[in-house]
Amino acid sequence: MLEAELIEIGRKAKEAAYRLAAASTNQKNEALLAMARSLEERSDMILTANEADMEAGRAKGLSNAMLDRLLLTPDRIREMAEGLRALAALPDPVGEVVRMWTRPNGLQIGKMRVPLGVIGIIYEARPNVTVDAAGLCLKAGNAVILRGGSEAINSNRAIAGVISMAAANAGIPEGAIQLIGTTDREAVNIMLKMNDYIDVLIPRGGAGLIQTVVHNATVPVLETGVGNCHVYVEEDADLEMAQRIVLNAKTQRPGVCNAMETLLVHEAAAPAFLPAVAEALRAKGVELRGCPRTREIVPDCLPATEDDWKAEYLDLILAIKVVDDLEEAIEHIHTYGTKHSEAIVTSSYKKAREFLQRVDAAAVYVNASTRFTDGYQFGFGAEIGISTQKLHARGPMGLEELTTTKYIIFGDGQVRT
Amino acid sequence: MLEAELIEIGRKAKEAAYRLAAASTNQKNEALLAMARSLEERSDMILTANEADMEAGRAKGLSNAMLDRLLLTPDRIREMAEGLRALAALPDPVGEVVRMWTRPNGLQIGKMRVPLGVIGIIYEARPNVTVDAAGLCLKAGNAVILRGGSEAINSNRAIAGVISMAAANAGIPEGAIQLIGTTDREAVNIMLKMNDYIDVLIPRGGAGLIQTVVHNATVPVLETGVGNCHVYVEEDADLEMAQRIVLNAKTQRPGVCNAMETLLVHEAAAPAFLPAVAEALRAKGVELRGCPRTREIVPDCLPATEDDWKAEYLDLILAIKVVDDLEEAIEHIHTYGTKHSEAIVTSSYKKAREFLQRVDAAAVYVNASTRFTDGYQFGFGAEIGISTQKLHARGPMGLEELTTTKYIIFGDGQVRT
């Protein structure tokens, strides 16, 4: 029953994707602008639906942080609309010929960007993801199947209804934007195996959600999110710069995946660096947990355990370890890191090069904050998430990462001998 | 027990991959040359092992085609060694910076190719895949876990023993090339779920093997192989060229995935084209199965059923359908094709363009044989398979497709505001 409904959604999405692939850039942009207008015009209806979710959330005892993620306001709806307008202004990735070459037999071969097809997005409480994901998928020529969290079901239904109707009225094939309207958890399990209807799944949310999807899906997954990021301060680092980077990486926005979780400090730099940086971090409300050598220098620091080296706190907590040298720093990152974003602060050309070469992560920095790992900061103009896997896309994913390629081959009668 | 053994193999591979990523191009090339030499020097031992497989195969009643795939000869061993030497001569994809740009804040961001990590290859009877896959993975800096077919177990053990020892002696980390030595089928099921140890799985073989892997693996898969390819002859085609392409696409090597399985002909071209092409195909031993309109023109043609439009014959059989126009041809390909290789023969600029834009396949051809979909023919110098999926790689996969990228970011103290 549920499975049949989902397969029908999948079939419609597949059909829509086939037609959408042929849509012009103008058609897609006009639809994005119409979706933006419609969101603003119908914001009262969306806010009413959101109020129902907020009430249910309060009754369920959701935390204030959760309730804030769930909350929509006229300003937040305006931001969602602006996000769609910004997408309309970006270049269309579809149709770009990445490269083209000619073979000795005269065959001319080009590699052209085309949409992926049908993208499934599985996400949690934030209703803005509904707009965001639908807009990104549409701009890249893909149909999308949205599965939001049950806490936001009324908001998501209202938003998806508004934007899918606006898109259809602007000539986008029906079925290009679909929301799974039920909160039945079984729907996710079915989605994970819909290989014939969904080309890619992108989970967006906490580690639990992502691991459930990665370990159960047979549909290809773009894994996003978990970041246990390090900043390593070398003995020769500019300590003023190091402090600025450490403070930024930990405190500018601690709840996100590219925030630093562990600080590594060369033993020769530790005595001069740690007392000042500890004071500055504490002034920002950061709790410090250090290795024994750290605690000799910062006596009132809590002891760090094995679990601290593994932790993605997403909070104002920092683990600190003093290391012997670059080698130990790289080994520590290899052992405990999640291959997300890793930084070194150094004035040594040789050490910068070695860190860049040897550290295996989506983004490896010299003398900059890990907080830059972001589609907007990288200049992509948009972001669907930050991939922590190696296949297809690694690091911030923008519109290009929502496409695949096909080879186009121009001949004049060539046959193979 | 078996699971513990496989996890130990995975752990070793992961460790080897970490070290191998730092290996220089020279080290990898020297290892490839040493592997080639070692294969030739120890060919007697390999041939003896192969004879045991051949005997067991004959006793089991394997078909002659299967036995031929299994057979090794001094010439075939020399070819495998030459393949490794050719790999050594190719450029190293690792370390290439695909592009680099500077942000307004002065951050310089580069996208650098790095190895994928650990690649699992699951394959069937051909023992040459053992050498081929190990060489490709090594050149791209990846550790490989090989799981061959049980028919070739003695050959594979001998070959893997020789090349992994030669690689280790040349300084490649132990564990970089490992074969799963058991023929227990359960080993494949375990491999499919080893997300913590294997970064990518590549199945190489028949449709049954590939579907088993795709539908059961939680490790990311690069799907290869199945091709129901079409050639469409437009009303305005150069019929002499069309016949040359059709004959080549069907008969030059019918047992491969890029061979044509269905011929589509515009109704206006059919009366002039079909009788001659039918005669030429039959002269090459091709059995023809046509739609009713085809059978009016080629009376002794067998009737085609729905199954024929879906079939990947991999044999000297061809389905033929007369269509009303380009639209019907594209719809037929959309309905029955497997998105592998599709060709149009036309003299119309507009129709060529429309076919190229609208047909969704790994390779779309104008006026050339579908048989060119191949890493060597495309100029990649090597091939690990032909991807028929959309994520990561689509079409022929060479060394580049065995890599991922990481962002390297050069700053001078930038923090995020």
Quote helix, strand, coil % in chain A, to nearest 5.
Answer: 45, 20, 35
Tell which residue, A111, A14, A126, A20, has the closest CA to residue A69.
Answer: A126
Predicted confidence (pLDDT) per residue in B104-152, tens digit = 999 999 999 999 999 999 999 789 999 999 999 999 999 999 999 999 9
Distance from CA of A335 to the nearest CA of B (A): 11
| Chain B residue whose CA is closest to A404 | B390
Contact B365 A411 (CB under 8 A): yes
CA distance A253 to A377: 14
Strands B287-290 and B317-323: parallel
Which of A233, A339, A360, A397 is the best substitution to test chain B (most B C-beta atoms within 10 A)?
A: A360
As a whole number, the mean pLDDT across chain B is 96
Tokens of A80: 């969602």
Tokens of A414: 């060539």
Residue A224 to residues A123, A124, A212, A214, B357: CA-CA distances in angstroms?
11, 13, 12, 10, 31
What is the structure's pLDDT at B51?
98
Q: Which of residues 114-143 of A touch B (CB under 8 A)?
A: 114, 116-117
Which CATH architecture is the domain B229-372 placed in? Answer: 3-Layer(aba) Sandwich (3.40)
Distance from CA of B97 to the nearest CA of A (A): 12
Nearest-CB residue to B372 (from A216, A377, A409): A409
Q: Count the Cβ atoms, other than its own, within 10 Å of residue B347.
A: 13
Nearest-CB residue to A334 (from B18, B364, B371): B18
CA distance B86 to B380: 12
Q: Which of residues 356-385 of A touch B (CB under 8 A)?
A: 356-358, 360-369, 371-373, 377-379
B141: left (phi over 0), alpha (psi -120 to 50) or beta: left
Distance from CA of B411 to the nearest CA of A (A): 5
Give every CB contact of residue A145 below 8 A, 6+ residues apart in sequence.
A9, A10, A13, A118, A119, A120, A121, A178, A179, A180, A191, A198
Residues of chain A found within 8 Å of residue B107, distances taken between Cβ atoms: 368, 372
Alpha-carbon Rg for chain A in angstroms: 24
Sign of the four-CA dihedral A240, A246, A248, A252: negative
Residue A284 in contact with residue A247, Cβ under 8 Å? yes
Contact A391 B415 (CB under 8 A): no
CA distance B392 to B383: 15
Strands B302-303 and A97-102: unpaired
Domain with CATH 3.40.309.10 in chain B: 229-372
Tell which residue, B256, B322, B249, B239, has the closest CA to residue B281.
Answer: B249
What is the structure's pLDDT at B104?
97
Tell which residue, B409, B257, B239, B241, has the closest CA to residue B337.
Answer: B257
**Vertex B131 angle, CA B62 and B50, to 5°:** 35
Contact B407 A252 (CB under 8 A): no
DSSP state, residue B92? P
Q: Does B244 touch chain A (CB under 8 A)?
A: yes
Contact B360 A238 (CB under 8 A): no
Contact A379 B405 (CB under 8 A): no
What is the structure's pLDDT at A207?
83
Is this complex's ipTM strictly greater than 0.85?
A: yes
Residue A226 to residues A316, A339, B6: CA-CA distances in angstroms?
17, 9, 27
Topology annotation, domain A2-223+393-410: Aldehyde Dehydrogenase; Chain A, domain 1 (3.40.605)
Predicted confidence (pLDDT) per residue in B280-327, tens digit = 999 999 999 999 999 999 999 999 999 999 999 999 999 999 999 999
Q: Count the Cβ atoms, other than its own, within 10 Å of residue A52.
A: 13
Nearest-CB residue to B377 (from A378, A404, A416): A416
Q: Does A394 touch chain B (CB under 8 A)?
A: yes
Q: What length does chain A have? A: 417
SS3 (DSSP) at A109: strand
Domain with CATH 3.40.605.10 in chain B: 2-223+393-410
Tell which residue, A82, A91, A81, has the closest CA to residue A39.
Answer: A81
- As a whole-number percent, the residues of chain B with pLDDT over 70 amount to 100
Contact B378 A103 (CB under 8 A): yes
Predicted confidence (pLDDT) per residue in B93-102, tens digit = 999 999 999 9
What is the structure's pLDDT at A56?
97
Contact A368 B413 (CB under 8 A): yes
Nearest-CB residue to A412 (from B103, B114, B367): B367
Contact B413 A218 (CB under 8 A): no
Strands A341-345 and B363-368: unpaired
What is the structure's pLDDT at A225?
75
Predicted confidence (pLDDT) per residue in B192-221, tens digit = 999 999 999 999 988 889 989 988 998 999
Q: Mean pLDDT over residues B164-179, rounded? A: 98
Sign of the four-CA dihedral B156, B159, B162, B166: negative
Q: What is the DSSP annotation of A139-189?
A: HTT-EEEEE--GGGHHHHHHHHHHHHHHHHHTTPPTTSEEE-----THHHH
Predicted confidence (pLDDT) per residue in A213-246, tens digit = 988 998 999 998 789 999 999 999 999 999 999 9
How many beta-carbon pairs below 8 A join chains A and B? 199
CA distance B296 to B306: 18
What is the structure's pLDDT at A233?
98
CA distance A407 to A403: 13
| Chain A residue whose CA is closest to B94 | A357
Distance from CA of A75 to the nearest CA of B (A): 22
Nearest-CB residue to A365 (from B193, B199, B411): B411
Distance from CA of B37 to the nearest CA of A (A): 30
Q: Does A99 touch chain B (CB under 8 A)?
A: no
Contact A391 B404 (CB under 8 A): yes
pLDDT in single tens digits along all 417 residues of chain A: 899 999 999 999 999 999 999 999 999 999 999 999 999 999 999 999 999 999 999 999 999 988 999 999 999 999 999 999 999 999 999 999 999 999 999 999 999 999 999 999 999 978 999 999 999 999 999 999 999 999 999 999 999 999 999 999 999 999 999 999 998 999 999 999 999 999 999 999 888 899 899 889 989 999 987 899 999 999 999 999 999 999 999 999 998 899 999 999 999 999 999 999 999 999 999 999 999 999 999 999 999 999 999 999 999 999 999 999 999 999 999 999 999 999 999 999 999 999 999 999 999 999 999 999 999 999 999 899 999 889 999 999 999 999 999 999 999 999 999
Tell which residue, B347, B254, B265, has the closest CA to residue B304.
Answer: B265
- As a whole-number percent, the residues of chain A with pLDDT over 90 amount to 93
Contact B218 A220 (CB under 8 A): no
CA distance A232 to A345: 6
Residue B367 in contact with residue B240, Cβ under 8 Å? no
Q: Does A238 touch chain B (CB under 8 A)?
A: yes
Strands A143-147 and B403-414: unpaired
Contact A391 B103 (CB under 8 A): no
